[in-house]
């Protein structure tokens, strides 16, 4: 099953700050709760892991990240991540292109991702997978913005650092399930459901 996503996040700092952070592969990986780079193989290849807690069970995915291209002029990064859970029942691949632009005095992080999931994880179905992936990317975007804001020395930077320190150590399946459920209700009722 494949899900395609296209997201834009307004950055709290300058385009240069956003691009500086986007080049920090370890920092970018840390923007997803539960994800970490465990080893740098060379300039373009990394090994990493993602932990997700669903009820009493914790699932662990291990995989590789390859930096396919980094265009300094366009401030654009393309990377491909591939992983498999420790039991071998699910696997996922994500092809992500992200870039930083400045428009109308605002710095923006833009991203296009194609996520392919196989095995048990694919049994969620198309609509559910899209909503789960959307929620994960929203959390990623929030953490990315906080990291850019934390580069500063003002009150906003201090608040961003505090939020980053409180970030959960792993993906919480119940929290995402609730977000997916409320998103599903909104889709049924034309966006009128309340959280």
pLDDT digits (tens, 9 = 90+) for 135-181: 778 888 899 999 999 988 888 889 988 988 887 665 555 455 555 55
**What values do phi and psi take at 164, rounded to 5?**
-65, -35
Strand-pair category, 106-119 with 90-103? antiparallel
3-state secondary structure 128-190: HHHHHHHHHHHHHHHHHHHHHHCCCCCHHHHHHHHHHHCCCCCEEHHHHHHHHHHHHHHHHCC
Provide the strand spans (E) within 35-157: 35-40, 45-54, 57-71, 76-85, 90-103, 106-119
pLDDT in the model for residue 125: 57
**What values do phi and psi take at 109, rounded to 5?**
-100, 120
Whole-model pTM?
Answer: 0.78
Strand-pair category, 45-54 with 171-172? parallel
CA nearest neighbour of 12 among 141, 143, 128, 107 = 107
Q: Which domains does the chain have, with CATH numbers?
A: 2-188 (3.30.530.20)
């Amino acid at each position: 099953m494949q899900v395609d996503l296209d997201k834009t996040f307004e950055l709290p700092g300058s385009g240069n700050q956003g691009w500086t952070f986007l080049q920090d592969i370890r920092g970018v990986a840390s923007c997803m709760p539960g994800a970490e780079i465990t080893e740098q193989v060379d300039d373009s290849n990394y090994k990493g892991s993602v932990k997700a807690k669903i009820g009493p069970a914790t699932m662990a995915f291990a995989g590789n990240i390859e930096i396919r291209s980094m265009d300094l002029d366009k401030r654009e990064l393309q990377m491909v991540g591939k992983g498999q859970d420790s039991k071998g029942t699910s696997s996922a691949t994500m092809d992500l292109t992200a870039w930083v632009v400045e428009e109308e005095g605002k710095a923006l992080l833009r991203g296009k991702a194609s996520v392919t999931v196989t095995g048990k994880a694919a049994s969620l179905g198309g609509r559910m997978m899209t909503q789960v992936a959307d929620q994960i990317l929203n959390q990623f975007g929030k953490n990315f913005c906080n990291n850019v804001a934390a580069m500063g020395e003002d009150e906003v930077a201090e608040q961003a650092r505090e939020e980053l320190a409180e970030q959960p150590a792993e993906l919480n399946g119940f929290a995402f399930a609730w977000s997916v459920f409320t998103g599903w209700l909104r889709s049924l009722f034309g966006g009128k459901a309340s959280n």
